[in-house]
Structure 1
């Protein structure tokens, strides 16, 4: 049977905590990828090497947060979608802080490495629903 949130704000709290933890980890790994890994192996290979780490971390965090805020699969899917929107908005915000306008930010997605990263972000959004009702490590 699906778990029910203990409080009405649980999906929102889950989404914000999930987004925050993964965004911080992604920011740190993104700096490593950009400054050291990409120059050595190329941008696409660098993203391909970073992606399993990020998705593994995302799955771990989703599981841990689901222990704190047990959500049904449907509610977890909603929380994951909200976390994805927060992640995409934060990424656009970082792009704006870097001096790009929104058109230039969206143009980045023409590159294969950005498309691979976006695919990973979509999986990030799905992970809470996939992890719902599973035992967390």
Structure 2
């Protein structure tokens, strides 16, 4: 139950940021740069949101094991993919297959890599405090 609740919160933070950014990307960036470049411009912001949300999750739940954090990421990934396909179906009237086929090959590939990062990011952070700073998790369990 705890993993599913945390996964939902993690999903919600990242999905809502992406949904909000779409209101900037679609009307302002796509007409100027095209879909590919607009999506690639948005990607660093989304990666920063993923880092922030995953570190926040680890910081607020220091007793989670690495396996539990990975489980949170995988459940959140399933929620994210389901939400993306649902939005494509309801807003774009496209089937999941049509939606996937319509993705730009370059920005779509970068997006797939970001999905993998989204899934594993909670497991990348250590719950051990950094020396001299007890409030921030460290990446990959190492020291700063």
Q: Equivalent of 2:80, from 72, 84, 87? A: 87
> Looking at CA atoms only, which structure, 1 or 2, has the larger radius of gyration?
2
Cross-structure match for 2:10: 18
Return the alpha-carbon distance in structure 2 between the equivalents of residues 132 and 59 of structure 1.
13
The answer as to whether partners of 1:59 and 1:131 remain within 8 angstroms in 2 is no
Q: Equivalent of 1:103, from 81, 97, 101? A: 97
Secondary structure class of the residue paired with 2:127 = coil
The answer as to whether partners of 2:73 and 2:122 remain within 8 angstroms in 1 is yes
Q: CA deviation at 1:136?
A: 4.5
Return the alpha-carbon distance in structure 2 between the equivalents of residues 114 and 31 of structure 1.
19
User: Which structure 1 residue ranges, 5 or more long, are not aligned?
Assistant: 1-8
Question: Is the aligned partner of 1:128 residue 2:122?
Answer: yes
Question: Is the aligned partner of 1:114 residue 2:108?
Answer: yes
Structure 1 segments (4+ residues) deviating >4 Å:
none
Q: Which stretch shows the higher mean deviation, 36-45 or 107-116? A: 107-116
Return the alpha-carbon distance in structure 2 between the equivalents of residues 120 and 31 of structure 1.
20
Q: CA deviation at 1:110?
A: 5.5
Q: CA deviation at 1:28?
A: 0.8
Q: How many residues align?
A: 129
Q: Which has the higher contact order (CA 8 A, sep 6+)?
A: 1
| Greater fraction of residues in strand | 2
Q: Equivalent of 2:59, from 35, 55, 67? A: 67
The answer as to whether partners of 1:63 and 1:132 remain within 8 angstroms in 2 is no
Per the normalisation by structure 2, the TM-score is 0.80
